[in-house]
Each structure stands twice: as C-alpha cells, then as structure tokens.
C-alpha cells in the first residue's frame, strides 16, 4: 500500500469564496476534476475550492485521482503538485499548463510478447528462492454471521479467478529465465469447504486450519497461487480464509478482491449481473509495458537520482542483536502493537498542518531518529513501499504493483525536529518523484553486499497503510479476524494506520535476530519521541529523552566491607610460581610489606585502601611475569595506591604517575624512583622482617575469591601483564591463600617451555583475549573457571575454543577493572552459549557498581537501546555502548568509529573460516598514499589458502571491510602484557594475494569453470573465483543453475548458488548432492528388485 503522502500546505490553499460572492464560471477542466473528486471520495458536495484531504481523501484515493486525471486529459500531474495544493482550481491550472505525458499509457501487449515478469515480481521471485517462507503470503480472514450460500460464494470466487489473470499465473523457469504463464481455470477448481459445526473443539480446529492455510508454502512454478477456505462453525456462522502469494497480489489488490467478491455474491455469482467494469489490460500487459518503457534515458534518470541519494550511505543499520541466524535458518516472526492516543494524534496532525507534511512523514522522521540513536549512526536508510498504480487502467487489477524506495534520512548536525521533518519530507518527495526505478535494478546498480540473511540497501521498512474496509457478503455481517504473526521479510517492518481518530502502530520483526522486550522498547521510544515532538518541534534532537535508562539488575561485586575474610595462609606455602621457580608466601609478604612501607614514607597516602577514580595518582611499574613484580604490585595495593603496569609497548593504562614515581623490580631487588631520588629495597631473606604494624599483611577480601569459591588449593594463572587482570588475580589469590602462576603470553604456544610454568593443572585463569587464543589447542582438564578482561574483543569464538580446551570451565568477562580489583561490569557467559547463534562479541555484562554509566549528549543517561558514551567514574570515556532491557551492557566500538563498519566484523568473519584460530586486522599505508586493511591469521593446519578465503569473506562483508591481503602466520606475536605485538608483524608481500587464480583440478570443476566463462563472457575462471565478483547477478544466477542441471544432472536451489562463494565451494556442494542422489537411486533400484522378486514369488 502507498504511504501517507504529504498533506496539503493549508495556508497556501486558495481561499473558498464567501457564500454571497458572485458565481464564477468554472472551466471544463475544473468540472472534470470535480467529477473525479466526487467519484473517488464518494460524495457530492465537492466544490472547486475544497481541499481533497479535508473531505476525507487519503493517499490511496489520491493515487486513484491522479490516475483518473491522466486517463482523462492525457497529462500527468506530479504527485508533489497534487499534495502541495490538492484543490480543484489549482489542479486544473496544472492540467492546463502540463505537457502531454512522456510516459505512455499501459496498453495490451503484442501477441508475440515474451512472457516476462515485472521488475517487482522478479524481485519477489528471487527473494522467495533465497528464503522461501510465509513472509511472502498475503492472508486475511473474516467471520461471516448469517445465512451463507456456499455455492454462490464458490461461483463468485471462480468469476474473480477468471477475471484476473494474475490469480491464474505461475512462474516456471524456461530456457534460463523465469517466465509468467497464465493457465485456464481448471473446471475442478473450487473453494475448500470444511464443516466443523459438530465438533466440540471447532474454534481451535478452525483456527488451526486457517493457520495452516496461511503458512503452507506456494511452489511458484505451479498455480494457482491463491487458496480459498470456508469453514462452517454453525449453521449461521462461517469463517472465510483467503491466502495468496505476494507475487500475484498486494494490499491494494485485497481491496479490489473484496469489492468484487461482494458485488458478485450479491449478483448470485453472475459476472454479467454484477456489472463490474471491464478490465482494459491484464497484469501481463503491465509487465511487458514496464520492461519496454523503463529503458534508456527514462531508466537512467531514475537510477541516477538514487545513486546520488544513497552515495555514502551506511551499508547496513547497526541495530542491537543478541542472536545471529544460523545458515539456512528461515526468519521467525514477531509482532508488537500499540496506539497513539486520539489527543496525541490530534497534536501530531496539527504539526503536519504546520509543516505541510503528513503523519507518515512525521513518523518517518521520528522513527529514523530512534533508529539513529539505537544504531549510533547519523545516516539511516528506510525502505518505503509505494504503489505503482498511477495509471488508471491498472487500478482495477489484482496483481503485485509495489516498489520499495530506499529513503535516506540524514540526522547529522543535531537539527531540531522541525528541521529534521523538513529533511524527511524532502527525501520522501524526491523518492516519490523517482518511484519507477525498480528496487532489483537499484541493488544491481548501487554497491551492496548480497547476503541471504540480510537485505541490501535497507533492513527496515516503514509503511503507511489504509484502514481496511469491511464489506460483508449479502445477508451476512462481517468481522475481520486477527491473523497469526508472519515471518518477517525484513528485520523491522513498521506499519501505521489511522483508526477511529488514533494512529495505530504495528511493528513486525525478525524474532530470530531481535528480542521481543527490546522491540517493545524501540516502539515505545518512537511514540514517546512523537508525543514530545508534536508539542515541541523546535527542540534539538539531542534534547529529547526517549525513556528511562533501564539499568536492570546489577552484578554482585561487593566492596571490601561485604566480603568474607579468609583464614591466615601458611607462610611456608607457595604463593607465586614463575619461570624461575616458586616464592613462598612469607617471602612474598615480606617483599610486599617493604614496598608498601617505602611508598608510605615517600608519598602522602590516605588510609582509604585504594579507590576506583582513574584520576588518582598511581605508581607505574615495569612489568614482567616474575614473582618479584607480583610482590611489588601487592606492595602498592597494601599501601593503598593505584598501580599501572608498563610492559614497554607504550600502551599502558591511563592515569597520572604519582609525583613521577616509578617502580622497577628484578631478581636483585625493587627500586623506587621518585623524581631524581632512587630508593633501593633490599629483599633480604624471605622471612627476615616481620610486617610493620602500620601495613596490613594482605590486601582486603576480594570479590572474585568469594564469587568463585577460591581457597588455598587453587592454582590461579595470570596470562599477560594487563593491569586489570594482574591486580584482579593477585587480590583474589592473596585473599584465598591460593597459588599464583605467572605465565608469559609470548611463550604459551610451547616455545621455550622450560621457562614457562605448566598450565595443565591450573584451576582458575585470569587473561585477556589474545593470549587466551594461544591456549586453544591445549588441554586444560582441571580448569574450572576463566576470568577474561573484556575490552570488546572477547568473541563468541573464544568461548567456543575455551570450552574445547576446558569443557567443564565456567567463563566470566569483566570490563574496566579498577585499582581495587573490582570491574565496572561483569558478564557470566551462560552454559547454553552457542557460537552459531551468539552475537559476534561477548557483552560487557551488568554494571558491577555505580561507577558505570551510559551518557549521551547533554550529560543525560541514555535510554535502553541508545548508543552512548561508556563512562567509568567521572572522566569522559573513549568507547560507546548500549544497555539492554535486562541491564546488560554491550560495547559498540570506539567513540569516533562507525558502528556499522567496525573491523571487528572482519575479524569475526575470518575466525569463522575453517582452521583459523586467531585473526588480526590492521590498517597499513598503501602504495598510493592511502591505507588498506591487511589481515593476519593464525591457523591450526597448513592447508589454509588465502586465495580461497577471499571470496568467502566477500560473501560476508561489505567492500569497506574486506582485507586487501591475507598473511598466514604460525601464531600472532604478543607483548608481555598479552596484547598483539603490532611491531612484530611482518609487512605483507605486495603479491601475496594479488593473483589468486587456481586452475580446476577435477572434471566437475572443469565443467563449472567452462559454464561460468560462457555465461559471464570472461576468458579465465579459477576455482577460487566468485560468480558474483566476476560480474554475476541474481537473474544470471538462474541461468547458471539451469546450466548446472543440464550439465551435471543435479538440482540445486538458487540459495545454494548464493551460499557457494567460489567455484570450489559450488563443486563441493554439487558433489554432496550427487552422493545423496546416488544413494537415493541405489535405494530405488533395490526396491525395484524386491518388487520384481515378490511378483515372481507370490
């Protein structure tokens, strides 16, 4: 259905003459347009100065009126002109001044015309091949109360089938192309009738029958693509269920169908008595006309507008999703509904009149604002369906005439809502003026990644629909019934409808990707914004509050006061193990005590036991994974001063050093440097000094020790020198009396094993993600829990790899560990975590204390779903995130990065490739003075082929995220802190992946290479080449499929072609299918033998 187009600018409308004014003779054109208005509006009181919309006109009626004007006068009035001033006198002036229409009228096709599909049908056919589902069904149901003549209803339905060719169409593939075939109506075609009146469960049974009727797929190569079901629930009550495939029917068609059915039924099913208007053309005529007209300059002008309109638009909307759809999994349906009150709707209408816009445009601006807040993007592209029935000849047809426009709304510059509404209005009007460009052609002309699980150009639909009209059959009363939630063709599909003075909102969504509670919040926030904007449109967008912050439950990370104290540990027990041996607890305590007392002598430190403010002075400690460094860290904690570990790569944590204080530790002792002063701390004998009375012997109780039940029997591994991980591990182990095992991340892959403590008997591990990946191939049978410092690079694949190494281990992600060892957020990874459906990265989790906030512009707390600055303490942050309804916080990215184009998506795609255990993407300067993305991967075997990987990445990523080169390493180098050592990465060879050509190796690959070369007109095709990268497109994929069927005798679905990124992958898929067919043939042959034997031996 068409959206609510712009309403008339009421102040500019010509004033209606006073009643005592002299009568001015109207022109013949004014008389004609008045007659058209009266017919379309169904009222007689239309004058030359009446406003079409004030008389009850709608966008659908406006399309009908424009079609009638063109039919009568041979000129086309622009939709923009109609909606700017929809009065007879002004429109008559436009008609008299207009040149003859350049676009020809739809006429009967030539007898020899090819049986083509319209562009809109072609798009639907392709989408149905990729993801066939009930999402492409048009379904309605109605309760009829009264005496129903089923035979007359059947005759009426047959008459409609005979009248409209579209309802008798089917879409087989012939000679490499999809064709539209219209069959004669079979004599035995009748409605399906079920009598459930005697069944006690008739209501449930009837609902089940209609639900099944609504969801049963239509094979498009067989017709008819419409089903009619009548269910009798009592002698005077029936249910009517109609289901059609979208390729032969749109919402406008439903209105045509209902009106004709009512007229035919009243006439006893007799088309002659029903007096229906003659159909001058059929849908096939329109399809042929469209293909002939939309060529050359006409098409170029349309496509050029959209190319310019979408230049630089984001490739996808980065909306929050906790779940990824499995490959081949069909979308699931979800629905949320709500209503804007009559009072709020009146306020919205007043804003429409003030801005010369419509409610649809106001909703477009408001919806785009919320989507922008939720995605963190200032450009939002929304699909807007619009009818293609501007020709009056097709307005009486049943068929699919809907095109979808990718309307871009720019949110940048923090405009007022009134200014944004003007932008939305302009974008919509520009789209309506170029609405003929078929979406399928735009997808081919405008760069977009075609992935079966996501739609190109846009993922969200906004549709303004008309209020459905109930037309009961003669002798009955009718009631529209709710229909089941359909699978959603798009990720979000918001429809608005005026009903009873209020504006209704119906938001369908892909439930396999989005959660119901979040979508409810999204719709609630949209309505909240519209309410506020209607009354205060001059406020800047940043000033609108969408909703509450929805902090949800917080993770339990108590402070020192809330933690139990462990019993004193045995001084002779092992406290720290490093590559050189073990330190007893007494030795560690003595060293830590001396560091703490030295710090207290040289610094004025309060007895507050450390804090979480990142602005506090802090000690900078040169870190190595040795026991003396661990003792120095514990000394800082005992002294109550924050510490930052410096691993020498210049990437230490932020926070000022305390008056220039640095600590260096090695086997000979610990040195404090305070400005120009040097203080040497002699460790002496391990137990020579008893701890001073002014310094506690261990840090206070720890949250991790309590949360995970640590005790003296635990071996707590520390992998890397990240400040947070080290502090957290040392505090937990000290509080529990456990042993700390210091691991060097640079040697966890088995090299220099003699200098690396054994990891096999660890029970708890603290780590950052990079070194954790280096343990992916190790067996860790005793490990019961892993705490991962999550900086946003902790991926679902890391969880899967960890569980392979340590099947019984629990896993916790922690974010922003403070000087007191407490994280700002904690996420316990659930046991049911599945890498196939989990999001790319592990969430940050729930806020662990009051220090974590999500702050948006204006220092306001962000609402649920909004992308905002992540702030710990009072200092501004450098990262953005969002909060879920349950309080879970997820990282979105760096504060100045595009959330929809993060290179982490490239890393995730690389990690999904076979044998890849780790991946890193860096931006390096190229030979032309720009930059390029280079990917480094570590693999589990020697069979990884970078040339074969590139097409697989191209099938998953937009062009901006594709690495230009892939470099394979045995392992990715790490710093002692557990970060990737970028300086140690080798520079890629310029020719590393420049030519990935690989010749065919098998007869099947040779056949496929020959087929592709012929179809695409290229000289050389290799097994790592992609059909789509070589210039293939959706329609040509159909021909490819047919050639495969003819050559190798295997039936593939079109989605198999799209899912096979390279010739090699396509050959593998065909080989699997051949094996399946061979097994089926063997079974058939065996059955034939058995049947023959049975026939001869009765």
Q: Tokens 């896993």 belong to which residue?
A: 811
- Percent helix / strand / coil, the chain, rounded to 5: 35, 20, 45
Q: What DSSP line would sit under 71-108, residue for residue?
A: HHHSB---HHHHHH--BHHHHHHHHHHPPBPSSPPP-P
Highest mean pLDDT, choosing among 291-305, 615-629, 1080-1094: 291-305
Q: Are residues 69 and 129 in the same domain?
A: no
Please, what is the angle between helix 88-97 and helix 59-73, to 10°? Answer: 40
- For the purposes of burial, counting CB atoms within 10 Å of the CB of 346, is it exposed (0-12), middle (13-18) or buried (19 or more)? middle
Quote the pLDDT of residue 297. 84
Quote the pLDDT of residue 601. 81
Is pLDDT larger for residue 150 or for residue 457? 150
Token digits of residue 446 = 């405008």
Token digits of residue 252 = 């406008």
Q: In this model, does residue 561 exceed pLDDT 50?
A: no
- CATH for 937: 3.30.300.30
What pLDDT band is residue 533 in, cutting at 50, 70 and 90?
A: very high
Is pLDDT larger for residue 1015 or for residue 350? 350
Q: In this model, does residue 153 exceed pLDDT 70?
A: yes
Quote the pLDDT of residue 552. 54
Q: Are residues 137 and 27 in the same domain?
A: no
Quote the pLDDT of residue 280. 94
**Model confidence pLDDT, tens digit, residues 246-260:** 999 998 899 999 999
Q: What percentage of the chain exceeds 90 in pLDDT? A: 41
Asked if the structure places residue 865 within a domain, the reply is no
Quote the pLDDT of residue 450. 53
Of 965, 996, 1027, which one is at a domain's C-terminal end?
996
What pLDDT band is residue 914 in, cutting at 50, 70 and 90?
A: confident
Q: Which of 148-152, 565-569, 738-742, 813-817 has the lowest average pLDDT? A: 565-569
**Cβ-based neighbours of 854, under 8 Å, separated by 6 or more:** 549, 861, 862, 866, 868, 869, 870, 871, 881, 882, 883, 889
**Taking the model in full, what pTM does it have?**
0.84
Q: Are residues 609 and 671 in the same domain?
A: yes
Give the mean model confidence (pLDDT) for residues 368-392. 92
Give the mean model confidence (pLDDT) for residues 809-838. 89
Give the mean model confidence (pLDDT) for residues 820-848. 89
Asked if the structure places residue 110 within a domain, the reply is no
Quote the pLDDT of residue 442. 86
Of 258, 285, 312, which one is at a domain's C-terminal end?
285
**Model confidence pLDDT, tens digit, residues 538-549:** 999 999 999 877
Quote the pLDDT of residue 333. 87
Q: Are residues 274 and 392 in the same domain?
A: no
Q: Are residues 38 and 123 in the same domain?
A: no
Q: Which of 32-41, 793-802, 1077-1086 has the lowest average pLDDT? A: 1077-1086
Quote the pLDDT of residue 692. 41
Token digits of residue 582 = 């073990």
Q: Which of 817-831, 842-856, 931-945, 982-996 has the lowest average pLDDT? A: 982-996
Q: Are residues 403 and 496 in the same domain?
A: yes
Q: Are residues 149 and 37 in the same domain?
A: no
Q: In this model, does residue 95 exceed pLDDT 90?
A: no
What pLDDT band is residue 922 in, cutting at 50, 70 and 90?
A: very high
Q: How many domains does the chain have?
A: 7
Q: Are residues 385 and 404 in the same domain?
A: yes
**Model confidence pLDDT, tens digit, residues 841-854:** 899 999 987 678 99
Four-residue CA torsion sign, 449, 452, 454, 457: positive
The full length of the chain comes to 1098
Quote the pLDDT of residue 198. 94
Indicate the average pLDDT of the chain: 83
**Model confidence pLDDT, tens digit, residues 572-609:** 889 999 988 999 999 999 889 988 888 888 765 554 44
Quote the pLDDT of residue 747. 64
Q: Which of 69-83, 228-242, 959-973 has the lowest average pLDDT? A: 69-83
- CATH for 446: 3.30.559.30
Highest mean pLDDT, choosing among 285-289, 678-682, 859-863, 967-971: 285-289
Quote the pLDDT of residue 172. 93
Count Cβ atoms below 10 Å from residue 1061 Cβ, excluding itself.
23
Q: Are residues 914 and 1040 in the same domain?
A: no
What pLDDT band is residue 265 in, cutting at 50, 70 and 90?
A: very high
Quote the pLDDT of residue 551. 55
Domain extent at residue 80: 10-97
Q: Which of 561-565, 790-794, 888-892 has the lowest average pLDDT? A: 561-565
Asked if the structure places residue 872 within a domain, the reply is no
Asked if the structure places residue 719 within a domain, the reply is yes
Give the mean model confidence (pLDDT) for residues 913-927. 88
Asked if the structure places residue 1069 within a domain, the reply is yes
Instruction: Yes or no: say if 728 and 826 are a contact pair by the CB < 8 Å rule.
Output: no
Q: Are residues 1026 and 971 in the same domain?
A: no
Asked if the structure places residue 879 within a domain, the reply is no
Is pLDDT larger for residue 125 or for residue 57? 125
Quote the pLDDT of residue 20. 42
Highest mean pLDDT, choosing among 114-118, 511-515, 836-840, 857-861: 114-118
Give the mean model confidence (pLDDT) for residues 200-216. 95
- CATH for 209: 3.30.559.10
Is pLDDT larger for residue 387 or for residue 287? 287
Token digits of residue 855 = 């702050």
Of 823, 855, 887, which one is at a domain's C-terminal end?
855
Q: In this model, does residue 50 exceed pLDDT 80?
A: no
What pLDDT band is residue 675 in, cutting at 50, 70 and 90?
A: low
Distance CA 926, CA 921 (A): 15
Q: Are residues 372 and 502 in the same domain?
A: yes
Quote the pLDDT of residue 326. 63
Beta bridge partners of 852: 872
What pLDDT band is residue 995 in, cutting at 50, 70 and 90?
A: low
Give the mean model confidence (pLDDT) for residues 54-83. 74
**Distance between start and end Cα atoms, the chain:** 65
CA-nearest of 88, 66, 89, 69 to 79 is: 66
**Model confidence pLDDT, tens digit, residues 485-496:** 888 888 999 999
Asked if the structure places residue 196 within a domain, the reply is yes
Q: In this model, does residue 902 exceed pLDDT 50?
A: yes
Q: Are residues 241 and 365 in the same domain?
A: no
Q: In this model, does residue 195 exceed pLDDT 70?
A: yes
Asked if the structure places residue 297 within a domain, the reply is no
Is pLDDT larger for residue 554 or for residue 947? 947
Q: What DSSP line would sit under 1035-1049, residue for residue?
A: HHHHHHHHHHHHHH-
**Cβ-based neighbours of 588, under 8 Å, separated by 6 or more:** 575, 576, 627, 630, 631, 634
Quote the pLDDT of residue 709. 92
Q: Which of 67-71, 916-920, 981-985 has the lowest average pLDDT? A: 67-71
Q: What strand order describes the sheet that includes 764-767?
A: 581-584, 574-578, 739-743, 715-719, 764-767, 785-789, 810-817, 823-828, 846-847
**Model confidence pLDDT, tens digit, residues 645-654:** 886 655 544 4
- CATH for 18: 1.10.1200.10
């Amino acid at each position: 259905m068409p959206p609510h187009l712009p309403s008339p600018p009421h102040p500019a409308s010509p004033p209606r003459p006073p009643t005592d004014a002299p009568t001015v003779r109207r022109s013949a054109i004014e008389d004609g347009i008045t007659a058209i208005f009266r017919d379309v509006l169904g009222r007689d009181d239309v004058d030359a100065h009446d406003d079409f919309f004030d008389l009850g006109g709608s966008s659908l009626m406006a399309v009908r009126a424009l079609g009638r004007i063109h039919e009568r006068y041979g000129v086309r009035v622009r939709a923009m002109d109609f909606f700017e001033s929809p009065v007879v006198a002004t429109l008559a002036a436009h008609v008299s001044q207009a040149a003859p229409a350049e676009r020809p009228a739809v006429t009967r096709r030539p007898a020899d015309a090819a049986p083509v599909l319209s562009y809109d049908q072609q798009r639907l056919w392709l989408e149905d091949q990729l993801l066939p589902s009930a999402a492409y069904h048009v379904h309605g149901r109605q309760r009829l109360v009264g005496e129903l003549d089923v035979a007359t209803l059947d005759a009426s339905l047959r008459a409609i089938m005979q009248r409209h060719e579209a309802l008798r169409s089917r879409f087989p593939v012939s000679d490499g192309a999809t064709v539209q075939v219209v069959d004669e109506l079979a004599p035995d075609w009748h409605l399906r009738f079920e009598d459930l009146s005697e069944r006690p469960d008739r209501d449930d049974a009837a609902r089940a029958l209609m639900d099944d009727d609504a969801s049963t797929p239509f094979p498009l190569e067989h017709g008819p693509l419409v089903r009619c079901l009548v269910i009798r629930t009592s002698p005077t009550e029936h249910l009517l269920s109609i289901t059609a495939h979208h390729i032969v029917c749109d919402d406008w068609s439903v209105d045509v169908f209902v009106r004709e059915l009512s007229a035919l039924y009243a006439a006893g099913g007799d088309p002659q008595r029903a007096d229906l208007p003659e159909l001058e053309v059929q849908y096939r005529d329109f399809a042929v006309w469209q293909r002939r007209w939309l060529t050359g300059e006409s098409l170029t002008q349309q496509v050029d507008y959209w190319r310019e309109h979408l230049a630089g638009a984001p490739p996808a909307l980065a909306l929050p999703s906790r779940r990824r759809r499995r490959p081949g999994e069909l979308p699931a349906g979800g629905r949320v509904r709500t209503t804007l009150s009559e009072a709020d709707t009146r306020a919205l209408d007043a804003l429409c009149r003030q801005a010369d816009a419509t409610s649809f445009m106001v909703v477009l601006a408001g919806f785009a604002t919320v989507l922008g807040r939720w995605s963190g993007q200032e450009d939002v592209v929304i699909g807007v369906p619009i009818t293609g029935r501007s020709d009056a000849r097709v307005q009486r047809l049943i068929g699919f005439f809907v095109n979808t426009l990718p309307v871009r709304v720019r949110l940048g510059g923090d405009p007022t809502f009134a200014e944004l509404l003007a932008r939305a209005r302009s974008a919509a009007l520009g789209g309506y003026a170029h609405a003929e460009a078929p979406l399928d052609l735009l997808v081919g002309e405008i760069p977009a990644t075609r992935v079966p699980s996501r739609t190109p150009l846009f993922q969200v639909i906004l549709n303004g629909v008309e209020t459905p009209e109930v037309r009961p059959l003669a002798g009955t009363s009718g009631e529209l019934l709710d229909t089941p939630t359909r699978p959603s063709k798009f990720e979000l599909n918001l429809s608005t409808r005026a009903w009873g003075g209020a504006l209704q909102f119906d938001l369908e969504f892909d439930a396999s990707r989005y959660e119901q509670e979040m979508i409810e919040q999204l719709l609630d926030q949209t309505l909240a914004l519209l309410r506020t904007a209607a009354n205060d449109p001059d406020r800047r967008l940043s000033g609108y509050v969408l909703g509450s912050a929805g902090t949800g439950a917080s993770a339990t990370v108590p402070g020192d006061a809330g933690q139990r104290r462990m019993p004193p540990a045995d001084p002779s027990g092992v406290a720290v193990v490093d590559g050189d041996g073990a330190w007893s607890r007494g030795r560690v305590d003595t060293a830590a005590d001396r560091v703490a007392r030295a710090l207290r002598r040289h610094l004025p430190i309060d007895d507050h036991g450390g804090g979480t403010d990142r602005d506090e002075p802090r000690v900078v400690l040169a870190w190595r994974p040795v026991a003396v460094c661990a003792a120095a860290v514990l000394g800082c904690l005992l002294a109550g001063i924050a510490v930052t570990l410096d691993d020498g790569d210049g990437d230490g944590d932020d926070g000022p050093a305390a008056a220039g204080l640095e600590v260096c530790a090695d086997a000979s002792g610990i040195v404090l440097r305070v400005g120009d002063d040097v203080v040497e701390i002699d460790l002496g004998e391990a137990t020579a000094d008893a701890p001073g009375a002014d310094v506690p012997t261990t840090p206070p109780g720890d949250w991790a020790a309590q949360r995970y039940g640590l005790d003296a029997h635990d071996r707590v591994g520390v992998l890397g020198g990240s400040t947070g991980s080290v502090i957290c591990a040392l505090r937990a182990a000290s509080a529990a009396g456990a042993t700390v095992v210091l691991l060097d991340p640079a040697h966890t892959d088995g090299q220099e094993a003699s200098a690396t403590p054994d990891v096999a008997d660890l029970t708890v591990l603290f780590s950052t993600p990079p070194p954790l990946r280096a343990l992916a191939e190790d067996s860790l049978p005793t490990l019961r829990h892993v705490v991962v410092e999550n900086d946003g690079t902790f991926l679902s694949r890391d969880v899967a790899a960890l569980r392979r190494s340590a099947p019984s281990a629990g896993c916790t992600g922690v974010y922003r560990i403070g000087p007191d060892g407490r994280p700002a957020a904690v996420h316990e990874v659930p046991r049911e975590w599945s890498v196939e459906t989990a999001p790319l990265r592990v969430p940050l989790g729930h806020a662990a204390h009051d220090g974590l906030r999500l702050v948006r512009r204006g220092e306001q707390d962000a609402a649920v779903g909004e992308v905002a600055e992540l702030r710990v303490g009072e200092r501004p942050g450098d990262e953005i995130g969002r909060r879920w309804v349950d309080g879970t916080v997820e990282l979105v990215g760096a504060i100045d990065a595009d959330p929809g184009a993060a290179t982490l998506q490239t890393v995730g795609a690389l990690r999904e490739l076979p044998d890849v255990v780790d991946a890193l993407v860096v931006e390096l300067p190229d030979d032309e003075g720009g930059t390029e993305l280079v990917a480094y991967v570590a693999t589990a075997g020697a069979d990884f082929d970078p040339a074969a990987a590139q097409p697989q990445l191209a099938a998953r990523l937009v062009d901006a995220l594709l690495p230009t080169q892939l470099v394979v390493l045995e392992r990715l180098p790490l710093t002692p802190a557990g970060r990737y050592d970028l300086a140690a990465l080798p520079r890629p060879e310029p020719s590393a992946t420049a030519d990935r050509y690989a010749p065919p190796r098998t007869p099947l690959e040779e056949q496929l290479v020959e087929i592709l070369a012929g179809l695409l007109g290229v000289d050389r095709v290799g097994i790592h080449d992609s059909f789509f990268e070589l210039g293939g497109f959706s329609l040509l994929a159909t021909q490819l499929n047919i050639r495969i069927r003819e050559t190798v005798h295997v039936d593939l679905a079109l989605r198999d072609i799209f899912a096979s990124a390279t010739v090699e992958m396509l050959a593998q898929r065909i080989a699997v299918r051949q094996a399946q067919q061979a097994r089926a043939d063997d079974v058939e042959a065996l059955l034939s033998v058995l049947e023959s034997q049975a026939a001869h031996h009765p």
